[in-house]
Amino acid sequence: MVGNYKGQPFFRPENRQRVRKLLIAFSREAGNQCLLDVGCGTGFILDLAHDLFQRLEGIDVTPEMLACVTPRGNLTLRLGQAENLPFPASSFNVVTCYSVLHHIEDPQSVFSEIRRVLKPGGLFYADESPSQHFREFLLQNAARIEEQPQLKVELHAVLHEVEAYESLYGIPEDVTHQAMVQNCDRGLLTEESLRNVLAHVGFERVQIEYRRFLSQPPLEDKFGGPYVRAVEHYLTSMLPLSRGFFKYFVIVAQ
């Protein structure tokens, strides 16, 4: 399972480069003493940040994932839950949470813990897929999307996400359904909900950005980068009306 997991799209070089640039900016803005990666998995963030911070901590609920993290002299790994972080208050300059929020049943409890362990002025970064707005757009327009081959792929990825995990990784459907609680049941990953909860637990500055619009990769292959950037600029200018077109979203909160 873990070997297949490392074949997911976010391990691609272009995404690694994008996230690395963000981590560099965070280390400069919030300080480079210590970073905590919540739901660290096999070490995607930890690998990218290993030389940017003096100390790294990674925590995950899955021992098999933690066993695959590359050991480093400045890295400590812990088995534990995001809702109950085993760290003192004001311990970290940066806390990251990459592709984890859709697994969390109660985001407020996790955000509250992250806020607690961040130093004053510290940064919280989350990168997530897909947004609830994207899922709702696909499902509400399913009939029309079925007629478009390029869009149909995205729709089926949402409709058959649970089955796909069993096929790709051998994970039973009931386990995936339980693990992806926000995608399957709760639906709390909307911009309004996230902003309200983050503000409620004490974050003073919250930025939510959207990226990778519907069918962006095939359009880039066919028409090139300048065309795609123009479309992205237009859709961004139309936010929040256009947020259903964007698959991914990024949170940076201070």
- Comparing CA positions, the residue from 143, 139, 155 lying closest to residue 214 is 155
Residue 169 forms part of a structural domain: no
Is pLDDT of 187 > 80?
no
Query: Per the structure, how many domains does the chain have?
Result: 1
Condensed to tens digits (0 to 9), the pLDDT of residues 64-113 reads 889 999 999 999 999 999 999 999 999 999 999 998 888 888 889 999 99
The CATH number of residue 18's host domain is 3.40.50.150
Residue 60 forms part of a structural domain: yes
Domain that holds residue 9: 2-132+180-253
Question: Using CA atoms, how far apart are residues 189 and 191, in angstroms rounded to an integer?
Answer: 7
Residue 141 forms part of a structural domain: no
Residue 163 forms part of a structural domain: no
Residue 67 forms part of a structural domain: yes
Residue 241 forms part of a structural domain: yes
Q: What are phi and psi of 250, to 5 degrees?
A: -125, 135
Condensed to tens digits (0 to 9), the pLDDT of residues 126-184 reads 998 777 888 888 888 888 888 887 778 777 766 655 454 545 555 544 444 344 544 44
In this structure, what token pair is assigned to residue 43? Answer: 């070490």
Residue 168 forms part of a structural domain: no
